[in-house]
Amino acid sequence: MSAQPHAAPEAVAAIIPAMNESARIAATVTAAKQIPGVDIVLVVDDGSADDTGTLARRAGAEVITHPKNKGKAAAMMTGAFALRNREISDADPGVEPTHRALLFIDGDLEDSAINTAPLAEPVLAGEADMTIAILPAQKRKGGGFGFVVGLAKKGIAELSGFEATQPLSGMRCLSREAFDAALPFAAGWGVEAAMTIDVVNAGLRVEEVECDLHHRVTGRDLKAQLHRAAQYRDVARAIIVRRIRAKRNGGTPAGARRNGENQKETGK
């Protein structure tokens, strides 16, 4: 069943989950504050062992601290629910609160964080419910081998019919309806793939937008390989959960059927 349309948000909250990003967080916050429409920058310090939270606050962000690391998905939800509580408390009695669009930004983007601005534009215009950042082609290269990306792409296509260019992209802008459709978030590094599947299958509009962003590239040492193994585990788990859910609901999700029909019509 498609979600009922709601009024487009009028402002944007930038939510930045971060752990041990003291070298980059101040520049990321400063850049996020310059994005048109952003009136709140909220950093969720997810159990950092360095000065991430302190430096984010000095740069002008509001900061929520997890005393212990809970993972990216939990940090994203902490920020979004804190914002929701504020919007409810700020609303006049008897008046439906006005919800901001949620712009999720990774903490290591530094000055390039301002280039997530195009993600907010379609959501603010009411033209999309979720936008996903993709890097320009020449900047998509990283230090990995593509196993996790391939798993996520295949799972998203199978379960929703959406052909994702960068399925693990963490830079996204969501309407409140899209955020609600993605709840509960998949744990750990499975959050992005699961979010795409859930939002598409809720009948909401998803667009990919090219953004000129600069990430810290993960290498190929042992620590990096352990990180990728954890990513693979979490993405696989998120896909398996949604595959089981689809079978319980009678087979192929509505989003996958609808996207498959659209691709046939367009000859893709």
Confidence class for position 221, pLDDT limits 50, 70, 90: low
**Residue 219 above 60 pLDDT?**
no
Mean pLDDT of the chain: 88
pLDDT the model gives residue 139: 53
pLDDT the model gives residue 188: 86
pLDDT the model gives residue 91: 85
Confidence class for position 95, pLDDT limits 50, 70, 90: confident
Stated pTM of the model: 0.86
Q: How far apart are CA 103 and CA 114, in angstroms?
A: 11
Over residues 107-165, the pLDDT tens digits come to: 999 999 999 999 999 999 999 999 999 987 645 455 555 889 999 999 999 999 999 99
**Residue 265 above 70 pLDDT?**
no
Tokens 């967080």 -> residue: 25
Q: How far apart are CA 175 and CA 22, in angstroms?
A: 29
**Residue 217 above 60 pLDDT?**
no
Position 263, amino acid: Q
Characterise 203 by phi-psi region: left (phi > 0), alpha (psi -120 to 50), beta (else). left
Q: How far apart are CA 107 and CA 21, in angstroms?
A: 6
Over residues 3-61, the pLDDT tens digits come to: 445 567 889 999 999 999 999 999 999 999 999 999 999 999 999 999 999 999 999 99
Burial class (CB in 10 A: 0-12, 13-18, 19+), 243: middle
To the nearest 10 degrees (0 to 180), the angle between helices 191-201 and 222-248 is 20
CA dist 22 → 18, 53, 55, 106, 110 (Å):
9, 8, 7, 13, 11
Phi and psi for 70 in degrees, rounded to 5? -115, -5
pLDDT the model gives residue 14: 98
**Residue 268 above 50 pLDDT?**
no
Over residues 231-259, the mean pLDDT reads 81
Contact predicate 112/28, CB 8 Å: no
Q: Which residue has the higher pLDDT, 220 or 78?
A: 78
Q: How far apart are CA 111 and CA 31, in angstroms?
A: 5
Confidence class for position 225, pLDDT limits 50, 70, 90: confident
Q: How far apart are CA 14 and CA 61, in angstroms?
A: 10
CA dist 268 → 151, 259, 262, 263 (Å):
21, 11, 9, 5
Domains and CATH numbers, the chain: 12-266 (3.90.550.10)
pLDDT the model gives residue 93: 87
Contact predicate 148/238, CB 8 Å: no
Q: How far apart are CA 192 and CA 186, in angstroms?
A: 8
Over residues 225-241, the mean pLDDT reads 90
Q: How far apart are CA 2 and CA 257, in angstroms?
A: 13
Position 256, amino acid: A
**Residue 263 above 60 pLDDT?**
no
**Residue 212 above 70 pLDDT?**
yes
CA dist 50 → 27, 216, 251 (Å):
16, 18, 47
pLDDT the model gives residue 251: 66
